[in-house]
Structure 1
Amino acid sequence: MPTASASAQPLRRVGVPLFFGLLLLLGVWVYRDYGVSWDEANNHLNGLVGLKYVAQVLVPKLAAREALNRPWIPDIRQFPDSDHGAAFEMAVSVLGYLFTDGDSRSFYLLRHLSVFLMFVMGVWALYQLGKLRFQDWRLGLLGASLLVVSPRMFAEAFYNGKDIVYMSLFLLAIYTLARLLQRPTLMRALVHGVATAAAIDTRVQGLQLIIITFAMLALEARFTKQPVKLSGCVLVYLVATVVFVVMGWPYLWATSVPDLLTAIPKMGVYPWPMTNLYFGHLIPASRVPWHYTLVWIFITTPLPYSFAAAIGFGSWLKEAVRTRLNTLHTFSGRLDFLIVLWLLAPITFTIVFKSALYDGWRHLYFVYPALLLLAIRGLLSIGRVAKRYGQWRRLALGTLVLAGSEVVHTAVCMVQMHPHENAYFSFLPGSVAERLFERDYWGLSYRQGLEWVLANDPAPQVPISVPWYITYYNNSLILTPEQRARLLYSHRDSAHFRYFITAYRWHPQSYGDSVGHEVHAIRVGGVKILSVFKKN
């Protein structure tokens, strides 16, 4: 196992702060470039609903103020999404009241920056976890770098306040769990409980962290012979988790115990009545085939990461079988088991229980860091082959060079695709990808479509139609007030629209000339993600 030598420590003191400093600067540079996704306005409303209820309970005078007493902010008991975790959205809403001028553009820019800062925290947690597992800060930094050079993850790190924020908090909780396993103390158990609660308060699926924690503490008790010490940690962890979950989830304050018991089974299953474009067919989300998640992971993850992770998993499995799981006697062996459990258990659960899935594999983004840690293990395995077996040395070294070149190529692609990295496909030709799979399912490119129309049509009012009003409305929120004033929404069935903008969701086929002639298109990696038509 590699160790960071003393001579590398000065480099670490410079390299790590430089990496995270540059990442923050990059985020500040580009966070203004993205549109508003399909879910953002409703997620913000969820935050306002929760904040309004908290104010009503704790500070009634504050709740009576206009900012929280607007008629379009429903009561928490009548809001259908109030059982969705709202801790992050509530925090961003508070920041919006404190630091913006009340205009929608300034709020959504602040929100995008806030999501990115949560992503940076997740990158930091992955760095720490990789450093802890491999006992080398350079490998920790490699894992953090691979997460950043993941096109879809990087793009969604600016607007996906559910899945990316949850991934970051889940990562943080896994790191706090690893520290607890390394040295069980009551303080570390408390910190892990807070981290677990933060994840649960974002998505109820965070409850699986409790199961993972119990499983790993059971292994710890089995192989380290310290059950008395661990029992105190378990108690502190459970109390902290319950207390902070309730503190951060106003829905639990407003719900009676019988209603809560009725709602719990529904919280982890979000019925979605729409369809996914999958291998060229529109399939209901509740009936996606078992391989849906696996295929989406493969076609949207850079190939070197996938292959290295497969090698890493293979090396772990070979070692586990050869030693008959004796590796669990070591801390690093138990961490490896945790990483494999983290990656495979959630995916297996969705396959076995036939979970409703949509929008690619975003509901399972939180397993992606585990894949990257296995990829690092795979790279180390290739490196060991190069050292031990002369006849395989050239092939192993060539593989590492090729993988490194592909990572650089991925970074270049991200620059070329910006701000549409969310439409990245790892190896599919553009014509194949747009025919077989969803493209810009978030609807972000509508922002660029609206901006193009306003820049190229001098009329004081521009009638525009879209297939789904929400994509038009959401992306208008991040335009300037002057731009919004020129927009005039027209229903497609009316005869008054001048432009028709589409991202081809639920209509992957060509529109022909049914809505006019195409005057503008956005292509990313050969994939057409948006078209602007002008009425004939």
Structure 2
Amino acid sequence: MSLQSSEFPAAAAAPAAHGRRALTLTRVVSLAVFAAIAAWIVLTFRDYGISNDEYVQHTYGQLLVAWYASGFTDDRAFHYINLYLYGGLFDLVAAGLEHYVPLPVYEWRHLLSASCGFVGLIGVWRLARLLGGEKAGILAVLMLAFTGMYGGAMFTHTKDVPFAAAMVWSLYFVTVCAVQFPRAPGWRSVLGLGLAIGSAFGLRVGGVFAVFYLVLAVATGMVLLRDWRLPLRLAPRIAVAAAIALAITAATWPWSMLPPTNLFKAMGAFSNFAFDMTTLFNGQEYPIDHIPPSYMPEYLAIKLPEITLLGLMAALAAVLVAGFALLRRGGALAALRHALAAHPRRVLGFLPLVLAILVPMAFAVLDDPPLYNGIRHFLFVLPPVTVLAALGLQAAWRGLSARSRVAGAGFALAALALFAFNAVSFLRMHPYEYVAYNQLVGGTAGAWGRFEGDYWSTSLREAALKLRQGVEHEGPAGRRYTVSVCAEDVQASTYLGPNFDLVEEWDDADFLLAARHVGCDGAPGLPYASVSREGIPLAAIVDMRMHRKSIVPPGVTPSEDDEGFDLAPPVATLKDGTAQVAKAKP
């Protein structure tokens, strides 16, 4: 569905003489953009490491499969750690299909997660196109795809990105319904709404936000349209959407319906749960249940690409300009009443988008829930934020072009240059795009040590492969080594190969693999290799053999400071750039 240009000037069509041609060209561009993103997913999904929650998440999915396979008697999934508080939609699909997909299980999970992210991008395109036309849709998709916390995270954030995809589709269908008021939504919209909200609940109890947006949209429509029977007229179709949503929730998150009051238990748990963990914010470690109120808004501000920030500022400027224009016609209250009465459909169209940005932000600030890993738990705010930014860029370009073609062209070139800068930064961080920060904190390098880094420890994949390749140049083939991992063992063992045995104690290990954000600095030993991007060390390999045997190789002078990762012994560089401790010549 598309809105009439009279209802949404941002969606105004091209001049009549070129309208059909312009639409065809923009649709071709849209298809080309999606084809390029799909190709990127297929070519790169194997590059991403295992996140440190994936093992337990996949186990949860296997337990849900076991519950179904046992005829609903094997209820281990309902007691597994705290994962029963989450919907199992993604993990159930991943575990249920793992034996039918010719891929290693974690590569399969990453491909499936990226596919969910791709579906989310389609939802962003549909929403932006609904509100601002096809060009706005293209802008929004490109901006979100090159946002590290979405385009990079969609391979490894296997619960957060699928949830964000479900939420943006929920938002789209809420908006589609709202712009049709006072008519009841069509059955396709009803089906889509039920599927989207049910999928959101099938991943997280946070799907309740989508229900809240729908309720407020109906209430606002009743007031603006002065149609007090609107809720009654909508009730039968909303009931159908609710039934679909509940069915999906029950199938993918059975604990939540046994009994249904468990949904409310999950809501309470996520507002009040806490465990012994700290999070890094502005250079300080905070317990996750004692974070500053500005935690989520500030993290969002510094994780968004600069082009998105420009779009948000442009959107704010467009609102202010429109507000001043209304004020010139009379008092503020009278002007607001006139605008609401004259353009109720426009208000109803943009209301869900505004709610999807402001309500989660207000919840994070006012309710003060335990938070960590930056904006990971609120990643679903990124799609609506990006849609608003795309609409802002489009409005700014049109407003400037109306006054001066030179000003419009200058703005477009500046925005294109900023987008190119963001795209290059995104590619240089691959496959750790989600770690990136914008220039408000001096980029990723400026944020290092002040804000969260590679909190998923996905860089251990590259570290393990470097170690595996490095030891192939040492000693006889088939020699065995012991490795200790300062993270989850599976994050390294999956890539190390058969010649490595994992041990718990560092002192028993030949090598230590450590992600640099988890407090593993200071391990005694010699640097062997590291994983870095933009000059930032994400993971380190430490050779523990010298420390364990108390042997100092010739050519290396012992020092009282001979510990930790900062000591730099002689190193040799392999052909692929891997550094390893140099051996003394006989």
The corresponding residue for 1:69 is: none
Amino acid at match of 1:465: S
Instruction: Confirm or deny: 8 A CA contact 1:53 1:250 kept in the other structure.
Output: no
Which digits, 9 at most, give the CA deviation of each residue in 1:273-310, with x for residues without a partner?
Answer: 21112122111111111111122112221112113213
Amino acid at match of 1:357: L
Percentage identity across aligned positions? 20
Q: Secondary structure at the match of 2:36?
A: helix
Provide the rounded CA distance (Å) in 2 between the counterparts of 1:200 and 1:75.
Answer: 17
Matched, 1:446 2:449: no
The corresponding residue for 1:462 is: 481
Displacement of 1:221 in angstroms is: 2.7
The corresponding residue for 1:504 is: 516
5+ residue gaps, structure 1: 64-72
Displacement of 1:8 in angstroms is: 1.3
The corresponding residue for 2:303 is: 300
Q: Against the structure 1 CA distance between its residues 429 and 9, is the aligned structure 2 distance closer, same or farther, given a 3 Å change threshold?
A: closer
Amino acid at match of 1:197: G
Which digits, 9 at most, give the CA deviation of each residue in 1:148-206, with x for residues without a partner?
Answer: 11123111111211110100010111111122223333512233122111101101111
Instruction: Confirm or deny: 8 A CA contact 2:146 2:423 kept in the other structure.
Output: yes
Matched, 1:144 2:153: no
Provide the rounded CA distance (Å) in 1 between the counterparts of 2:218 and 2:471.
Answer: 64
Q: Secondary structure at the match of 2:83?
A: coil
The corresponding residue for 1:369 is: 383
5+ residue gaps, structure 2: 1-8, 327-334, 473-477, 547-586
Provide the rounded CA distance (Å) in 1 between the counterparts of 2:385 and 2:265.
Answer: 35
The corresponding residue for 2:185 is: 185
The corresponding residue for 2:543 is: 534
- Given candidates 391, 395, 412, the residue that maps to 2:424 is 412
The corresponding residue for 1:281 is: 284
Which stretch shifts more, 88-97 or 119-128? Answer: 88-97
Displacement of 1:433 in angstroms is: 1.9
Matched, 1:123 2:121: yes
The corresponding residue for 1:68 is: none
TM-score (normalizing by structure 1): 0.88
Matched, 1:246 2:250: yes
1:384-403 equivalences under 5 Å are 384-389=398-403, 397-403=409-415
Q: Against the structure 1 CA distance between its residues 257 and 422, is the aligned structure 2 distance closer, same or farther, given a 3 Å change threshold?
A: closer
Amino acid at match of 1:335: G
Q: Against the structure 1 CA distance between its residues 57 and 358, is the aligned structure 2 distance closer, same or farther, given a 3 Å change threshold?
A: same
Equivalenced residues, count: 506
Amino acid at match of 1:107: V
1:215-230 equivalences under 5 Å are 215-224=216-225, 225=227, 227=230, 228-230=232-234
Amino acid at match of 1:163: D
The corresponding residue for 2:13 is: 3
Q: Against the structure 1 CA distance between its residues 467 and 152, is the aligned structure 2 distance closer, same or farther, given a 3 Å change threshold?
A: same
Q: Against the structure 1 CA distance between its residues 280 and 252, is the aligned structure 2 distance closer, same or farther, given a 3 Å change threshold?
A: closer
Displacement of 1:429 in angstroms is: 4.8
Which stretch shifts more, 165-174 or 522-531? Answer: 522-531
Q: Against the structure 1 CA distance between its residues 317 and 95, is the aligned structure 2 distance closer, same or farther, given a 3 Å change threshold?
A: farther
Q: Against the structure 1 CA distance between its residues 246 and 429, is the aligned structure 2 distance closer, same or farther, given a 3 Å change threshold?
A: closer
Q: Secondary structure at the match of 2:155?
A: coil
- Given candidates 92, 95, 120, the residue that maps to 1:93 is 95
Which stretch shifts more, 107-116 or 289-298? Answer: 289-298
Instruction: Confirm or deny: 8 A CA contact 2:136 2:394 kept in the other structure.
Output: no
Amino acid at match of 2:195: V
Amino acid at match of 1:130: A
The corresponding residue for 1:520 is: 529
Which stretch shifts more, 353-362 or 189-198? Answer: 189-198
Larger Rg: 2
Q: Against the structure 1 CA distance between its residues 487 and 244, is the aligned structure 2 distance closer, same or farther, given a 3 Å change threshold?
A: same
Which digits, 9 at most, give the CA deviation of each residue in 1:45-82, with x for residues without a partner?
Answer: 11112221122236x8xx8xxxxxxxxx9453455321
Which stretch shifts more, 5-14 or 196-205? Answer: 5-14
Where relative contact order (Cα < 8 A, 6+ residues apart) is larger, the structure is: 1
Amino acid at match of 2:480: Q
Q: Secondary structure at the match of 2:438?
A: coil
Q: Against the structure 1 CA distance between its residues 237 and 175, is the aligned structure 2 distance closer, same or farther, given a 3 Å change threshold?
A: same
Displacement of 1:261 in angstroms is: 5.7
